[in-house]
Amino acid sequence: MTRRTWELYLLLLLGLGLMSQEALPPPCESQIYCQGELLHQVQMAKLYQDDKQFVDMSLATAPDQVLQRFRELMEVHNRSVPRQQLQEFVQQHFQDVGLELEPWTPGDWKESPKFLQKISDAKLRVWAEELNQIWKKLGKKMKPEILSHPERFSLIYSEHPFIVPGGRFVEFYYWDSYWVMEGLLLSEMAETVKGMLQNFLNLVKTYGHIPNGGRVYYLQRSQPPLLTLMMDRYLTHTNDISFLEENIETLALELNFWTVNRTISVNSGGETYVLNRYYVPYGGPRPESYSKDEELADTLPEGDREALWAELKAGAESGWDFSSRWLVRDQNPDLLSSIRTSKLVPVDLNAFLCQAEELLSNFYSRLGKDSQATKYRNLRAQRLAAMKAILWDEQKGAWFDYDIENGKKNLEFYPSNLTPLWAGCFSDPGVVDKALQYLEDSKILTYQHGIPTSLSNTGQQWDFPNAWAPLQDLIVRGLAKSASPGTQEVAFQLAQNWIRTNFDVYTQKSVMYEKYDISDGGQPGGGGEYEVQEGFGWTNGVALMFLDRYGDRLTSGSPPSHLVSHCLVATFLLNILLGFLPW
């Protein structure tokens, strides 16, 4: 090829690239699973306890036929179909949930992964073995019908089997999968991790982003961006550079989604900074929580409803659905209808992206692509400066979500405030010890059973008294980066508290939960939109991470105050024993 043909060829490719970007359809137009009269009437009739159930059912016939039948039914009933007839209609045209996924035992599952040997406490070791077993229960594989008739399913086809969170969450979820993968890698299941990564990369190629979870009704929103980190962890375990080489442009494409669709400019001190936010520019109730969203909207004037729904979806995109983090405002801070997710610049989102930019820069360097490496290094440097200017608070020694509407930080405590430590997204090493001081000042270290999600008890699940595994990891591994032995010791102690809560509840219930209530000695969590779920992917992942890191020191026994009484009992028994001994 001559130089000129090369240029034309490149232009053509570029043009195709732009066209395919523009040709992306609006996420989810399904008149059954995402919007329309059928969805509305069925969900508002509340045929099922959980709205998710209906949108997880697959169709018995083609969607056009189902919609045609429904139009006929509406005509018969003057548009508003009675509950009984809706029930019959769903029974006729839909199939029960769960049939589209098959149980799957990962081929690379192992009975005794090596990290188990690092755990000195015998009870914790047996427990870790049981956690390792749970991967087999959480493995899922798609039936081939989903590939041949995708229009009949809300489930998005994925080629490779995967691990799900558990409970009502029978499909994969984006940010959950990161902690699941950390656990899988400890369980020496890198092949399973690779398959899950391939699924995510394929989603980026098809949709330009990773949806919240593996259903079409999740396509309008993403979840905290951890794909590049997933790749990094996989590479660390396997050194599979050719996999990186094949997929690095897809990683860049995913970051591009956050740049194109989720950027916000913030002015401060005469400068303009560019950061990211959670933002979903689509109205309508969330299909899987339809009646709740509709009823919540009924409490607002009609003109405000679409905005409310968009903010609820942005809240779901943050992974913190829902939390006082997104509700704060001077009036009615406890009302979910006051949600304004997109008006905040979140610390954790920007820390995740900062880390992704650094990792991507390193990946490009490894592949000898220096100009791309420089591009992402510069993006990270810009973000660091913006985070320092907008989110960091020198006096408090932590970062805080920035409220764009009110031009100020939200100074409430959330573990996410320390995500930059965990993500290595800071330039002054002194911040780690400042963060410890911040935790002490906020009285967070007085909680014996886990780090609370916030200090406000709103009834939302991402608030007090719930504690979530990924948030424990953010703090523990953040503090563990300190050079100071004292700060590292606090990190260990926090890991010990969390392990004990997980272990104690497991001992009572033989189950791992998605979240824990730390107010009453550690119990399954509550609050929010649905019942507490069992399984549970990321909780297991984080437990295995702590057991791996601190296995030589962690204990299953009671905390120090009880230890004293154990000692007393032991002394007492010893005395009795001695009393019976013939001297």
| Residue 288 or 317 having the CB closest to ligand NAG | 317
Binding mask 160-199 for ligand NAG (x = CB under 6 A): ----------------------------------------
As given in the structure block, the two tokens for residue 361 are: 């820069």
Sign of CA dihedral 78, 81, 85, 88: positive
d(CA 164, CA 536): 8
286 part of the interface to ligand NAG, by CB under 6 A: no
User: Are 285 and 309 in contact, with CB atoms under 8 Å apart?
Assistant: yes
23 part of the interface to ligand NAG, by CB under 6 A: no
- Residue 92 φ then ψ, to 5°: -75, -40
| Residue 279 or 400 having the CB closest to ligand NAG | 279
d(CA 569, CA 564): 9
SS3 224: coil
Which long-range contacts (C-beta less than 8 Å, at least 24 apart) are formed by 299-305? 299/337, 300/337
- Least distance between ligand NAG and beta carbon 311 (Å): 15
User: Are 113 and 132 in contact, with CB atoms under 8 Å apart?
Assistant: yes
d(CA 328, CA 338): 8
126 part of the interface to ligand NAG, by CB under 6 A: no
Kindly state the DSSP code that residue 131 receives in the 8-state scheme.
H
Kindly state the DSSP code that residue 236 receives in the 8-state scheme.
H
Residues 53 to 72 in contact with ligand NAG, rule: CB under 6 A: none
260 part of the interface to ligand NAG, by CB under 6 A: yes
27 part of the interface to ligand NAG, by CB under 6 A: yes
- Compute CA distances 351 → 273, 346, 348, whole Å: 15, 9, 5
| Residue 168 or 313 having the CB closest to ligand NAG | 313
User: Are 390 and 403 in contact, with CB atoms under 8 Å apart?
Assistant: no
78 part of the interface to ligand NAG, by CB under 6 A: yes
18 part of the interface to ligand NAG, by CB under 6 A: no
d(CA 122, CA 128): 10
As given in the structure block, the two tokens for residue 220 are: 């309008």
Q: Which of 121, 321, 358, 548 is catalytic?
A: 321
User: Which residue type sits at 91?
Assistant: Q
Sign of CA dihedral 535, 537, 538, 541: positive
- Least distance between ligand NAG and beta carbon 27 (Å): 5
24 part of the interface to ligand NAG, by CB under 6 A: yes
Half-sphere exposure of 202 (CA within 13 A, CB side): 12
144 upstream amide cis, omega within 30 of 0:
no
Kindly state the DSSP code that residue 25 receives in the 8-state scheme.
P
Stretch that binds ligand NAG, among 22-30, 109-117, 128-136, 144-152 (CB under 6 A): 22-30
Stretch that binds ligand NAG, among 20-28, 226-234, 402-410, 552-560 (CB under 6 A): 20-28
209 part of the interface to ligand NAG, by CB under 6 A: yes
Distance of CA 151 to the CA centre of its chain: 27
User: Are 363 and 248 in contact, with CB atoms under 8 Å apart?
Assistant: yes
Stretch that binds ligand NAG, among 21-29, 65-73, 82-90, 243-251 (CB under 6 A): 21-29
Q: Which of 348, 514, 517, 548 is catalytic?
A: 514
8 part of the interface to ligand NAG, by CB under 6 A: no
SS3 461: coil
561 part of the interface to ligand NAG, by CB under 6 A: no
Question: Is 514 annotated in the active site?
Answer: yes
Distance of CA 526 to the CA centre of its chain: 18
Residue from 261, 337, 338, 488 in contact with ligand NAG (CB under 6 A): 261
Which residues are part of the catalytic machinery?
321, 514
Positions touching ligand NAG (CB under 6 A) are 24, 26-27, 78, 209, 260-261
